Amino acid sequence: MKIEAFPIRADYDLVCFSHLRWDFVYQRPQHLLSRFAKDRRVFFIEEPVFHDNESKLEISPREDQLFVVVPHLQHGADVDSVMRGLLDNFLSENQIDNFVSWYYTPMMTAWTDHLEPKAVVFDVMDELSAFKNAPAELLQREKQLFGMANLVFTGGPSLFESKKSQHHSVHCFPSSIDVKHFARALEVKDEPADQAQVARPRVGFFGVIDERTDIELLGRLADLRPDLHFVMIGPVVKISDEDLPRRDNIHYLGGKDYKELPDYIAGWDVAMMPFAINESTKFISPTKTPEYLAAGRPVVSTAITDVVKPYGEAGLVFIAETPEAFSDAIDAALKDDPSERRRRAAEFLDNMSWDKTYAAMADLIDRAVEENSPKASAMHV
């Protein structure tokens, strides 16, 4: 479990505990932590996977100073007890004694609440308690994590409003955007082979396809508009593949690498966000909204709160609440003036970037570490 000959280059390491896997979908954790890893060691610790052999941690070095740590536990192991032991050994062997803990899930507090980090960050990316198959003890663990945390970040305005009364230092950091990456869609000439065979006009979506996706809406749209072709890119999670609507004009292309996404978006006439309106989407702030806009596509979405405000109110996204309205909105999007839309989108996105979000978060963490330092504590005695 020891990382050989890797220098400690910063004032503190960052140890992240995540329910999301690094190699699943490139999203908020990857954008932020890859930037932190340019200045310090970052250890991204995932949920355990189970096997028949001895329990261990598998460490995978990535770019810069990032390490992905996957626990492999023996079937039947006492997860909390075994993980405490493995984690303690890992931290000791790699001289990780000056660190900040960063949580994406409260569930890992059961095997980390004995640690002594310089500060604790809880980045609330989603309302996990509203997700399908959420653990019964999640809310209790979240309350515990609020008590441990020095800083709470939220992934959008709705989450901020929900959490701001539960902690003394809650900060709203909505989904940001790598504009240059997605603007590349405006220059793509050759599209991917699996999409090239799909007829046009095309209405596209990328992201995880799960209980947040309104698959009934998708099926109704395909029936209403046989002249349109709906491209769905992303892994299917927590719902059965058999439940997905199957039509000649719906095309499931599977998951794609983050680097490939502009190549696919370039071949869409309209981008869509067919989110279901339910408990699991009440607080979401979709990263794909600014990504679609940076790629120069007109966007149609269901009435997700953090999309309606600010994107819908700014006239950057068409909002629709029924299949018929969604169909009409697609027609309006197809007729939209692309040059004017892209100009307004560029102005809106000008102050949004993961670099700026990272810098603001890092500043807050630095202050929290300083306030928790022995020197600062002595001054307040």
> What CATH number does residue 44 fall under?
3.40.50.2000
Question: Is the pLDDT confidence value at 277 over 60?
Answer: yes
* Residue 376: pLDDT band with limits 50, 70, 90: low
- The answer to whether the CB of 80 falls within 8 A of the CB of 107 is no
Question: Is the pLDDT confidence value at 94 over 90?
Answer: yes
Query: Is residue 132 located within the same domain as residue 248?
Result: no
How much is the pLDDT for 207?
96
Instruction: Say which DSSP state 205 is in.
Output: E
State the average pLDDT for the chain.
Answer: 93
Query: Is residue 246 located within the same domain as residue 339?
Result: yes
Residue type, 50: F
Query: Is residue 161 located within the same domain as residue 192?
Result: no
Q: Please state the domain count of the chain.
A: 2
Note whether residue 187 is domain-resident: yes
How much is the pLDDT for 380?
45
Question: Is the pLDDT confidence value at 5 over 60?
Answer: no
Query: Is residue 109 located within the same domain as residue 184?
Result: no
Query: Is residue 183 located within the same domain as residue 298?
Result: yes
Query: Is residue 239 located within the same domain as residue 340?
Result: yes
Query: Is residue 301 located within the same domain as residue 372?
Result: no
How much is the pLDDT for 11?
86
Note whether residue 162 is domain-resident: yes
Note whether residue 7 is domain-resident: no
Query: Is residue 359 located within the same domain as residue 211?
Result: no
* Residue 132: pLDDT band with limits 50, 70, 90: confident
- ∠ CA 177-330-127 to the nearest 5 degrees? 45
Domain assignment of residue 105, given as a range? 13-176+354-379
How much is the pLDDT for 281?
93
Note whether residue 368 is domain-resident: yes
- Rounded to a whole number of angstroms, the distance between the first and last alpha carbons of the chain is 40
Query: Is residue 42 located within the same domain as residue 103?
Result: yes
Question: Is the pLDDT confidence value at 8 over 60?
Answer: no
Question: Is the pLDDT confidence value at 381 over 50?
Answer: no
How much is the pLDDT for 379?
46
- pTM score, whole prediction: 0.87
Residue type, 20: L
- The stretches of the chain forming alpha helices (DSSP H) are 28-36, 79-93, 138-148, 157-163, 179-183, 193-196, 215-224, 261-265, 288-294, 305-307, 323-335, 338-349, 354-372, 374-379
Query: Environment class of residue 232 by beta-carbon count within 10 Å: exposed (0-12), middle (13-18) or buried (19+)?
Result: buried
| Distance from C-alpha of 236 to C-alpha of 228, rounded to nearest angstrom | 22
238/152: higher pLDDT: 152
- The answer to whether the CB of 296 falls within 8 A of the CB of 185 is yes
Query: Environment class of residue 224 by beta-carbon count within 10 Å: exposed (0-12), middle (13-18) or buried (19+)?
Result: middle
| Distance from C-alpha of 377 to C-alpha of 221, rounded to nearest angstrom | 61
| Distance from C-alpha of 139 to C-alpha of 159, rounded to nearest angstrom | 15
Query: Is residue 200 located within the same domain as residue 83?
Result: no
Note whether residue 74 is domain-resident: yes
| Distance from C-alpha of 299 to C-alpha of 296, rounded to nearest angstrom | 9
